[in-house]
Amino acid sequence: MILVTRSSMPEFQEYCDEIKKLWDSHWLTNMGVEHQELQKKLEEYLNCPHVVLYTNGHLALENIIAAMQFPEGSEVITTPFTFVSTTHAISRNSLVPVFCDINPDDYTIDVDKIEALITEKTVAIVPVHVYGNMCDVERIDQIAKSHKLKVIYDAAHAFAVKYKGVSSANFGDASMFSFHATKVFNTIEGGAVCFQDDRLEDTINDMKNFGIRGQERVVFIGGNAKMSEFQAAMGICNLRHLNREIGKRKCVVERYRNNLGHVSGIKLCKPQKDVEPNYAYFPVVFDGFRASRDKVFDALGEQGIAARKYFYPITNSVEAYSELPSAGGEKTPVAAYLADRVLTLPLYADLALEDVDRICEIILSCRR
């Protein structure tokens, strides 16, 4: 059985050594030494002044949107070609998602279609660095500045990606990372909010810790979304090996590219200009291939290989959003077209190159 991903883990002993101090201190959560160390290491790694750790990426995104204090019912421009978390984070803040289509080259928000969606109610853009592909951060910045909109990136897929040498944490007003077990860098469950503006720091910390500022001071009606010491310890261990893991992912991706790059009817994402990638996902689009995406998916499944229809369905077509004025896949035709044809293939650091070859052979054998 080959799954679409397999979590990166340190050696068992390495993790045991890291958590040994928790048995000595009995300090298991509430921003202890592991949390503090991981935060500092990530601020250095991402070269970002503020990295606030969360128990998961979704709450990090939900809270950073809340921290902007937009009026209820305001509109937020986003894309439907993402994990439902992105759209939920907007809606759960009593804001209205407005779906913009994606561009057919790297599947990020189509910057030429943003301005037509801006109304007097628009307050923000929440673009997604989907599959680790960087959005057109420069155009988005221009549009946001000229319309006075905030930009919050869903960078869940883009940890360790750099654009023109700058880490993905440093664009827009804020970025959210997910450190879920399935992501390139994991803390089991986990996430972070990254930003430059010092004034956001107290608010975002209040949101994840009940608005508590001291033993006798509660200044804000916050929730609880703290990262525990065990999660942080996993992150400290995984971060030590991250560059090597990404290197191994690169070899897997190159093998896939060699095997599938010149096959008629199979479209791969091109490497992006000025981007240092993290090889997070390997999406393949079947367009004019002599078998449908679903047929390939089933054929792989029969051989014990779990690829994923990622992203299908797109979020503007799921039941939960059927009442939304901007719902309906037909309004984002590029996203809808891709959602019917895309498959993300198994990809993780330790995936054997012989397995990559076997997966590709099964795909090619689907041609009628």
Residue in 128, 112, 110 with CA at minimum distance from that of residue 280: 128
Minimal distance in Å, beta carbon 48 to ligand PLP? 18
Minimal distance in Å, beta carbon 365 to ligand PLP? 31
Per-position DSSP letters for 130-156, written without gaps between them: GGGPPP-HHHHHHHHHHHT-EEEEE-T
Cβ nearer to ligand PLP, comparing 74 with 79: 79
* Measured torsion, CA atoms of residues 149, 112, 289, 339, in degrees rounded to the nearest 10: 30
**Residues 140-148: contacts with CB under 8 Å, at least 24 apart:** 140/109, 140/111, 140/114, 140/172, 141/171, 141/172, 143/111, 143/114, 143/115, 144/172, 147/115, 147/118, 147/122
Minimal distance in Å, beta carbon 207 to ligand PLP? 15
Minimal distance in Å, beta carbon 303 to ligand PLP? 26
Cβ nearer to ligand PLP, comparing 156 with 314: 156
Cβ nearer to ligand PLP, comparing 56 with 167: 56
Determine if residue 325 is left, alpha or beta; phi over 0 gives left, psi from -120 to 50 gives alpha, anything else beta.
alpha
Site residues for ligand PLP per CB under 6 A: 56-58, 82-83, 85-86, 128, 154, 156-157, 178, 180, 191
CB closest to ligand PLP, residue no: 57
User: ω into residue 311 within 30 of 0, thus cis?
Assistant: yes
Cβ nearer to ligand PLP, comparing 126 with 237: 126
Minimal distance in Å, beta carbon 23 to ligand PLP? 27
Cβ nearer to ligand PLP, comparing 289 with 311: 311
Q: Give Dmax (Cα) for the chain.
A: 71
Residue in 91, 88, 92, 130 with CA at minimum distance from that of residue 109: 130
Residues 91, 6: Cα–Cα separation, whole Å: 31
Cβ nearer to ligand PLP, comparing 57 with 346: 57
Minimal distance in Å, beta carbon 309 to ligand PLP? 14
Angle at 366 between CA 361 and CA 367, to 5 degrees: 110
Minimal distance in Å, beta carbon 310 to ligand PLP? 9
Cβ nearer to ligand PLP, comparing 70 with 81: 81
Distances (CA, A) of 338 to 77, 83, 268, 328: 20, 14, 12, 15
